[in-house]
């Protein structure tokens, strides 16, 4: 019987494999875990929007951390700690708002332990009231109690609303339009927006007043020198004032001085900006009471169109207020679709029928990756890397549906300057018929009626 000899080299190789084999499965599993953790395409820095801190991340795992293993057997990248998930509140925890609550019903609520915190007249006969609920009632139960009254079927929570934008991305200068120079030009070219001042001379009629509900606006920014801008601020005396970041950027898209670093779309139009936001810790938000008061201020001042670059949950009081502004007063309402993602439920006020819901696209006409979609979407407009004013001075790129909405708002203002008698429904019909179809043929829930086009808006 012959004995098969194993070469010394092969013996060494087999011994090495046997000694290290127990470590192999762990090593391979660790490699796969790293690959999956990087699957959220987080290369190249943080380009996420405000909603990311309310979402879980694919980096979170249920396993333990092997970083305390100092063994030199294998080297692997250190795992990043799982992100802290911060869930921002959606409403004031102990308040209800009610529209047109009768005096007898209010007396009954006060007798049952409710407290009247604030009331705001919205017209000759309409009053909005903010109530604190009794300590022994849960918030949903308190709302049910108020809604059971004959005069308050639309009572609701005092919901919070937040601005819809991504952190700023620095846009590179571009010169895509021969008559336009600067990084703001690609967006203008995309919607065929004539360059000021030629646009002003093309549009006959008396300029209309544009209203906007937003955070604070810095009126001393160089972009607003000589512009007809008025800022009304201070929604809450009990909280810190809002930052002048988001509102300044949105206002500059609308009305930035033509020869500034951030030229606006309709800089000759009067702009009335109402700051309804406040800061609570690091959370910048507006509640329904402040939002409705801001809307009333704009309506009382005779604005023709209102820009709402904000989003939040549905609210019956807000819906009723917007219905009155649109149907009874003829004010055109434009709102950002929201940045909660394409699978998210509709965000409000964009989700209401009386509001023009605007989604955002990039320079190639592709939908913004975090834009909310659905059958309520009306129009698409540029909203990625929009060159506009920074809060203190200068300009930078901004991304989000917040910055797509003012393009439609400016288009509405042009239409109403030339045709002030048009109703909100007629304005929407004109915008829809002139839009450029960029999605599925005809209307679709991603782009709505298509990309806003400024051609012939003045006619």
Q: Which residues are catalytic?
A: 214, 246, 402
Backbone phi, psi, residue 277, to 5°: -95, 160
Triad 212, 335, 338: Cα angle to 5°:
125
Tokens 């293993």 identify what position?
69
Cα–Cα dist 370/386, whole Å: 16
Residue 324 vs residues 136, 327, 377: alpha-carbon distances, Å? 35, 5, 21
Tokens 């070469």 identify what position?
7
Cα–Cα dist 399/249, whole Å: 11
Cα–Cα dist 410/406, whole Å: 6
- The neighbouring-strand residues paired with 333 are 306, 355
Strands 115-121 and 127-132: antiparallel
Triad 258, 247, 365: Cα angle to 5°:
70
Cα–Cα dist 215/169, whole Å: 20
Cα–Cα dist 64/32, whole Å: 15
Nearest-CA neighbor of 427 among 406, 409, 446? Answer: 409
- Cis peptide before 349, with omega less than 30 degrees from 0? yes
Cα–Cα dist 167/114, whole Å: 41
Cα–Cα dist 142/123, whole Å: 26
Tokens 């051609």 identify what position?
455
Cα–Cα dist 430/159, whole Å: 33
Query: To which H or E segment does residue 412 belong?
Result: helix 405-418
SS3 content of the chain, % helix, strand, coil (to 5): 30, 20, 50
Nearest-CA neighbor of 301 among 212, 382, 241, 168? Answer: 212
């Amino acid at each position: 019987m012959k004995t098969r000899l194993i070469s010394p080299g092969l013996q060494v190789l087999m011994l090495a494999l046997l000694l290290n084999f127990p470590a192999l499965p762990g090593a391979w599993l660790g490699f796969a875990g790293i690959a999956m953790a990087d699957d959220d395409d987080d290369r190249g820095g943080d380009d996420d929007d405000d909603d990311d801190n309310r979402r879980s991340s694919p980096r979170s795992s249920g396993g333990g951390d092997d970083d305390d293993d100092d063994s030199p057997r294998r080297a692997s990248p250190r795992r990043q700690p799982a992100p802290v998930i911060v869930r921002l509140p959606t409403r004031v925890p102990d308040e209800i708002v009610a529209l047109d609550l009768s005096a007898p019903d209010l007396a009954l609520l006060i007798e049952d332990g409710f407290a009247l915190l604030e009331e705001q007249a919205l017209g000759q006969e309409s009053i909005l009231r903010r109530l604190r609920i009794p300590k022994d009632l849960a918030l949903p139960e308190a709302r049910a109690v108020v809604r059971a009254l004959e005069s308050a079927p639309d009572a609701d929570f005092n919901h919070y609303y937040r601005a819809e934008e991504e952190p700023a991305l620095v846009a590179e200068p571009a010169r895509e339009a021969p008559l336009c120079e600067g990084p703001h030009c690609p967006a203008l070219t995309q919607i065929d927006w004539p360059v000021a001042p030629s646009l002003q001379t093309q549009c006959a009629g008396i300029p209309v007043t544009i209203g906007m509900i937003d955070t604070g606006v810095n009126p001393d920014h160089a972009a607003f020198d000589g512009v007809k801008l008025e800022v009304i601020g201070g929604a809450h005396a009990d909280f810190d004032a809002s930052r002048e970041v988001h509102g300044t950027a949105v206002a500059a898209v609308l009305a930035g001085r033509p020869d500034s670093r951030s030229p606006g779309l309709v800089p000759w139009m009067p702009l009335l900006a109402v700051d309804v936001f406040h800061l609570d810790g690091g959370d910048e938000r507006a509640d329904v009471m402040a939002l409705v008061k801001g809307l009333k201020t704009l309506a009382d001042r005779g604005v023709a169109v209102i820009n709402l670059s904000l989003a939040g949950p549905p609210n019956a009081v807000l819906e009723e207020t917007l219905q009155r502004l649109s149907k009874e007063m003829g004010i055109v309402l434009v709102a950002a679709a929201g940045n909660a993602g394409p699978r998210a439920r509709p965000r409000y006020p964009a989700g209401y029928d009386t509001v023009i819901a605007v989604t955002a696209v990039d320079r190639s006409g592709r939908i913004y990756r975090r834009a909310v979609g659905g059958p309520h979407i009306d129009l698409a407009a540029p909203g990625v890397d929009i060159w506009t004013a920074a809060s203190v001075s200068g300009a930078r790129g901004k991304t989000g549906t917040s910055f797509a909405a003012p393009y439609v708002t400016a288009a509405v203002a042009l239409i109403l300057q030339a045709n002030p008698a048009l109703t909100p429904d007629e304005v929407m019909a004109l915008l829809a018929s002139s839009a450029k179809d960029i999605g599925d043929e005809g209307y679709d829930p991603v782009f709505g009626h298509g990309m806003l086009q400024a051609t012939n808006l003045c006619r």
